[in-house]
Amino acid sequence: MADSLAADASWESGWYRYARACASPNWGARPSGTAIDLLVLHSISLPPGEFGTDRVQQLFTNQLDWDAHPYFETIRDLQVSAHFYIQRSGELWQFVSCDARAWHAGASQFQGRDNCNDYSIGIELEGLEGGAFTAAQYETLQALTASMLQQYPIAAICGHEHVAPGRKSDPGSGFDWTLLQHALGLSDQYFPAFK
């Protein structure tokens, strides 16, 4: 019971109290009665390989200067968001209430269900597809995921590459799924994409 009360105190209307809130306009309502039971991990950096900027925050809030870097022309006018973003320092940002639908997975499918955005929570890790992530990022991700497991009926955890194979390859081979699984003490059933 104490764990349930602690989890409740960490969340308010889908917002996690330990994240830095930065509301995105890129979200929508989830379909009525939808269980939030999937966690999708991503990687992102803007431009690719450049860390420590505020450009991801700008992208998710539709404030990115499209002319600031040649790469941005390839994503011009993109309107996307994720629920969370974990910088390499471990700093945690939240852009959309977990009770709402963020625009992170795009065309996607998991275990025969389309439109993963409808029933998932999206977490972006600052990094490159296939690249390594920092200890601070894993620590933040573990704490966030542990709290989400108490707050939402999360039944599976996977990468963007697993819900949009052939179209996306993040977070990629540099992400340590075994480390995450062991740190959370979760059984293989939570990681069906690997078992």
Predicted pLDDT of residue 193: 87
**Domain map of the chain by residue range?**
2-42+81-190
pLDDT along the chain (195 residues), means of 10: 57 98 98 97 97 98 97 95 98 98 97 97 97 98 97 98 96 97 97 82
Predicted pLDDT of residue 163: 97
Rg of the Cα atoms in the chain: 16
Predicted pLDDT of residue 5: 45
Q: Which two tokens mark 132?
A: 């390594």
DSSP, res 129: T
Fold of 2-42+81-190: Lysozyme-like (3.40.80)
| 116: CB partners within 8 A, 6+ apart | 38, 40, 105, 108, 109, 110, 163
Q: Which two tokens mark 112?
A: 């025969």
Predicted pLDDT of residue 194: 77
Predicted pLDDT of residue 8: 66
Q: Is 124 a catalytic residue?
A: yes
Predicted pLDDT of residue 1: 39
| 7: CB partners within 8 A, 6+ apart | 147, 150, 151
Q: How far is CA 99 from CA 15, 30, 31, 63, in A?
A: 8, 8, 11, 24
Nearest CA among 41, 61, 79 for reference residue 164: 41
Predicted pLDDT of residue 4: 46
pTM of the model: 0.95
Catalytic residue among 50, 73, 124, 126: 124
d(CA 105, CA 168): 9
